[in-house]
Amino acid sequence: AVVSTQSTGDENSDGKISLAEYVGEFADDDDMDDDNDDQDWVEREKKSFQEEKDKNNDGYLDKQEVADWIVPSEVNYSLEEAKHLIERADTNKDGVLSYQEVIENHDVFVGSQATDYGRLLHEEL
């Protein structure tokens, strides 16, 4: 999973993942929703990159930093990803996902690290 993430995220093949590579297409203003949910997510991810993931503060994620990010330690990443999915898909902000919200925001779930995590585990086995 670490090698796959490193090679996929490292768009310029320099052996590390920059902030721009980390947020990828989500940082492109043309892809943002009108309600700024995507922009809020990008800002949170930038902060997470800078304050949590880039441990040596060099502006890049090296192989060890990617491993620390991908391989869960004491942090419950599943819970964090579930909160993120609900936040992104809960269009009426009532804290509960309706069937309609899930259908209307299916792309949020299809592109989720949580749904991708199962595929990555399968590939590693």
Task: Give SS3 for 72.
Answer: coil
Are 45 and 26 within 8 A, CB to CB? yes
pLDDT at res. 125: 47
pLDDT at res. 74: 58
Is pTM, for the whole model, over 0.85? no
Distance CA 63, CA 60 (A): 10
Q: What is the pLDDT along the chain (125 residues), one digit of tens a residue?
A: 556 566 677 788 888 888 888 888 556 555 455 556 777 888 888 888 899 899 999 999 888 888 887 776 656 667 778 888 899 899 999 989 999 999 998 888 776 665 555 455 445 54
